[in-house]
């Protein structure tokens, strides 16, 4: 019996309020939508659920409001197998919300998101004193940028000093100190975030060329980041190394509905695979398959796949029998 990987996510909870329309409104305009739904989400919660659904023992630390959204989000994590014993309830601010517009038209499915952090910012370093004794019990720590920066910096430093790998998903994009970056094992921005963090320009379509990818990664690794993985949307993800770039292509799907949690699915799946013993490249292959399934569902947490669904897709595509064998042995 192999030991299941242990993952800690210190991150955000957001109740997603999702409106669907043929196109997004212009400034001052009202358009008629085609649907509305709420779904529990938040980058931290999404990543925790994805890791748990793939077989990792996953713990979540965060903060929700004392309201119905908070109860629903914590319940969703518990139902997915995430340990929420370290989730704090704030009596000062309501649960965070994500206002999501999904535009489905001739150019494909695109989204626009406004995040209101609310109670997420009430998680402070003082609430995480238990980590000093427990941090070494985890195989990797996952964080994003939907908490106060001081809290993120505190956890990254604690994990790094204890020799525990740190995954930082730098979203939403924000300035990052060199001190924080030097404590990061894996930095996984998308192309826009990589450009903002490095100062390297994207092209007119918001893409980074291969040379630009190399340049952006070089800047970030020069600040102390050990590994840079830049997600490329429908093109997959790029592992940027000193000696070059390795692109793991995306898995093409025909029934794309909602890209909202694709990046979070990628992060959670990558960390579950890596913590279980997969190589970085194999963990990325697992992650692109998980993300491909995620975009075919509506809502964040409801669209995240189980390990069975991911292995089924890999079998269906017949692209990587060796990866299937490794997954069977590890997760």
Cβ density class 74-110: b for 16+ within 10 Å, e for less? bebbeebebbbebbeebeebbbbbbebbbbbeeeeee
Eight-state DSSP code of residue 257: -
Among 16, 122, 139, 264, the active-site one is 264
Strand ranges across the sheet with 6-10: 83-90, 57-65, 6-10, 140-143, 166-168, 186-187, 227-231, 237-241, 244-248
SS3 26: coil
Catalytic residue check, 83:
no
Residue 331 CA to residue 13 CA, distance in Å, equals 26
Residue 217 CA to residue 221 CA, distance in Å, equals 6
β-sheet bridge partners, residue 325: none
Rg (CA), the chain: 19
Question: Which residues are tagged catalytic?
Answer: 264
């Amino acid at each position: 019996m192999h030991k299941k990987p242990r993952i800690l996510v210190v991150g955000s909870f957001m109740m997603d309020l999702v409106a669907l329309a043929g196109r997004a409104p212009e400034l001052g305009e009202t358009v008629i939508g085609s649907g509305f739904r709420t779904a529990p989400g938040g980058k931290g919660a999404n990543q925790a659920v994805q890791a748990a659904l793939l077989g990792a023992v996953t713990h979540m630390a965060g903060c929700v409001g004392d309201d119905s959204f908070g109860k629903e989000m914590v319940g969703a994590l518990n139902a997915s197998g995430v340990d929420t014993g370290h989730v704090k309830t704030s009596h000062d601010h309501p649960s965070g919300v994500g206002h999501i517009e999904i535009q489905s038209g001739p150019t494909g499915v695109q989204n626009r998101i406004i995040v209101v952090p609310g109670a997420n910012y009430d998680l402070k370093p003082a609430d995480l004193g238990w980590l000093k004794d427990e941090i070494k019990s985890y195989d990797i720590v996952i964080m994003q940028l939907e908490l106060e920066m001081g809290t993120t910096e505190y956890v990254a430093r604690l994990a790094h000093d204890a020799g525990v790998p740190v995954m930082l998903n730098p979203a939403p994009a924000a300035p990052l100190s060199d001190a924080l970056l030097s404590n990061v094992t894996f930095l996984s921005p998308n192309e826009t975030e990589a450009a903002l963090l490095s100062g390297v320009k994207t092209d007119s379509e918001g893409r980074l060329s291969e040379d630009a990818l190399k340049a952006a990664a070089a800047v970030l690794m020069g600040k102390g980041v050990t590994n840079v993985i830049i997600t490329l949307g429908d093109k997959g993800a790029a592992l940027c190394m000193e000696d070059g770039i390795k692109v793991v292509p995306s898995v093409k799907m025909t029934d794309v509905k909602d890209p909202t949690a694709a990046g979070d699915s990628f992060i959670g799946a990558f960390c579950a695979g890596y913590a279980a013993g997969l190589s970085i490249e194999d963990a990325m292959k697992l992650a692109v398959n998980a993300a491909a399934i995620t975009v075919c569902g509506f809502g964040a947490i409801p669209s995240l796949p189980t390990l069975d669904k991911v292995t089924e897709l890999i079998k269906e595509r017949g692209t990587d029998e060796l990866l299937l064998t490794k997954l069977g042995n590890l997760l």
